[in-house]
Each structure stands twice: as structure tokens, then as C-alpha cells.
């Protein structure tokens, strides 16, 4: 990949980590531009008008100067980087299965597990609003359901799709391996634990820092 790539990110975010992990596994160079989401830095007029009208990181900036393009949504950025690599299976059905897990990640996993981690680890239990506090129990139950689905799927498999690492593993790994920071017990999911240990050993793996 020869174009200039800049990841607009907050290094505490697992959604940003997915993209950095994908790039590292593929040996792709990514520059980084940091924002503090707790200070609302992705809600500035400049960010909203130029980088992402949705006011969120990660955003992958592709290319240079006036022709630069901005790609929001972590899983789309992972897809862009991994296009044509072994992280996306060639088989059509396996590709669709991979996407199925990536949509699961965005609908059933991240909104529960990442949100609880953000609220409890970074915002702080005592600083939550009333509506946030009211959602704690349902998010805990739904996040637990998502982890149970993953654990059952991994009972007789090493990876989510086929027998090698794909973007399904990379994207699900990001918030699963730090789920304890959101108050989830990982000890009760032996297959997830085995899978985490295997992902960490993948050549090119980088840890999440933040
Ligand atoms: N579906 C999006 C979620 C992006 C997202 O929720 N970003 C959070 C950090 S992980 C954010 O920017 N929050 C700051 C804000 O909403 O102001 C993705 O996967 O990239």
C-alpha cells in the first residue's frame, strides 16, 4: 500500500486498536493523529466538517492534501486495509461468514462490552448520567449473551471462520480481550480464553496501548 494513511484516533479505543492491529499484521504503515474523546475533541466544528460528520473516531484518512478521503467505521477501515490479503478469505461463503461476525461485533458485542468498558473504566461509575446508569444491567446481560455465543462457537474451532485468522477474529478480539475492564468475567469462557491466547501469538501481533 503506497498511499499515505493517517488514523484519527484515541488510543484508549478498541475500535481504533482493530485498525492498528490489522495494519500491524499486514506490515502496513499508519500515521496517527490523537484526539481526547472525553474532552469532546471529535465534536469540534473542524472535525465534524472535514473528518467525520458523525463526530466519532476512528477515521482512516487515505491519501494526501486536497484529494485525501476520510473513512469512518472501524470495520470498514479494517476491510480497506486487508483487501486482497489472507485476513479476508477468498471463498465467498467464508467471506460472508466473516462479515456476519463483524456485524455481530457491531450490533451485539461492541455496544454492550465496549460501552460498559468506556463508562466504567474511563467516565467512572459515579459520573454516569441517570439514563446511562439505567442501562448498566441490560448492557451487562446483553454483553454476557454475546460472549456466550462466541464461546459456544469456538468450542470446536481455533478461529471464527475457517482455520486461520480473519478480520472476524481481529475485530472481535479488540474489545473481548479487555472485557474485564467493563466488568465482564472472562474466566467463565474457556474457549474464548484459548482463542485470545492464540491471537496474541499471531506473527505481527501488537498489544493495545491506552
Ligand atoms: N461504529 C463505530 C463506533 C465509533 C465510536 O463509537 N467511537 C467512539 C470511541 S470508540 C467515539 O468516537 N466517541 C466519542 C464521541 O462519540 O464523541 C466504529 O466501529 O468505528
pLDDT digits (tens, 9 = 90+) for 58-78: 999 999 989 999 999 999 999
Indicate the average pLDDT of the chain.
Answer: 97
Whether residue 167 is predicted with pLDDT greater than 80 in this model: the reply is: yes
Q: How far is the CA of 72 from the centre of ligand 1 (A)?
A: 9
Structure-block grid coordinates of residue 36: 481526547
pLDDT at 209: 87
Which residue has the CA at smallest separation from atom 6 of ligand 1? 56
CA of 92 to the centre of ligand 1 (A): 30
- What distance in angstroms lies between residue 91's CA and the mean position of ligand 1's atoms? 31
Nearest Cα residue to atom 15 of ligand 1 = 56
Q: Which atom of ligand 1 is nearest to the CA of 56?
A: 12
pLDDT attached to residue 1? 67
Q: Rounded to the nearest whole angstrom, what is the distance from the C-alpha of residue 41 to the centroid of ligand 1?
A: 12
128, burial (CB in 10 Å: exposed 0-12, middle 13-18, buried 19+): middle
Q: What is the mean pLDDT of residues 49-57?
A: 98
Ligand 1 centroid – CA 77 distance (Å): 13
Do the Cβ atoms of 61 and 70 come closer than 8 Å?
yes
Atom of ligand 1 nearest to the CA of 13: 10
Q: What SS3 state is found at 91?
A: coil
Q: 105: closest CA among 46, 50, 175?
A: 175
- pLDDT value for 62: 98
**Mean pLDDT value of segment 165-183:** 98
Tell me the pLDDT band of 85, cut-offs 50, 70 and 90: very high
Calpha distance 115→34 (Å, rounded): 20
Write the pLDDT tens digit of every residue in 118-140. 999 999 999 999 999 999 999 99
Distance 35 CA to ligand 1 centre (A): 12
Shortest-distance Cα residue to atom 1 of ligand 1: 73
Bridge partners, residue 60, by sequence: 7, 71
Query: For position 210, what pLDDT does the model report?
Result: 65
Tell me: pLDDT of 54 over 80.
yes
Ligand 1 site residues (CB inside 6 A) read 13, 15, 37, 42-43, 55-58, 73-75, 106
Which of 19, 39, 57 to mutate to test ligand 1, by most ligand atoms within 8 A of the CB atom?
57
Amino acid at each position: 500500500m503506497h498511499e499515505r494513511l493517517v488514523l484519527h484516533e484515541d488510543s484508549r479505543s478498541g475500535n481504533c486498536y482493530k485498525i492498528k492491529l490489522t495494519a500491524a499484521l499486514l506490515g502496513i504503515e499508519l500515521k496517527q493523529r490523537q484526539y481526547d474523546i472525553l474532552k469532546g475533541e471529535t465534536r469540534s466544528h473542524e472535525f465534524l466538517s472535514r473528518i467525520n460528520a458523525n463526530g466519532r473516531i476512528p477515521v482512516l484518512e487515505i491519501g494526501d492534501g486536497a484529494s485525501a478521503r476520510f473513512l469512518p467505521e472501524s470495520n470498514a477501515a479494517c476491510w480497506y486495509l486487508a483487501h486482497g490479503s489472507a485476513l479476508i478469505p477468498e471463498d465467498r461463503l467464508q467471506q460472508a461468514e466473516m462479515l456476519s461476525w463483524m456485524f455481530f461485533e457491531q450490533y451485539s458485542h461492541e455496544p454492550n462490552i465496549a460501552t460498559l468498558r468506556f463508562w466504567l473504566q474511563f467516565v467512572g461509575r459515579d459520573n454516569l448520567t441517570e439514563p446511562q446508569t439505567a442501562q448498566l444491567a441490560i448492557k451487562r446481560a446483553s454483553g454476557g449473551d454475546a460472549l456466550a455465543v462466541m464461546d459456544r462457537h469456538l468450542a470446536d474451532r481455533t478461529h471464527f471462520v475457517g482455520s486461520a485468522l480473519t478480520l472476524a477474529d481481529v475485530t472481535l478480539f479488540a474489545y473481548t480481550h479487555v472485557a474485564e475492564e467493563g466488568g465482564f468475567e472472562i474466566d467463565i469462557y474457556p474457549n474464548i480464553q484459548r482463542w485470545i491466547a492464540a491471537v496474541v501469538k499471531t506473527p505481527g501481533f501488537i498489544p493495545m496501548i491506552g
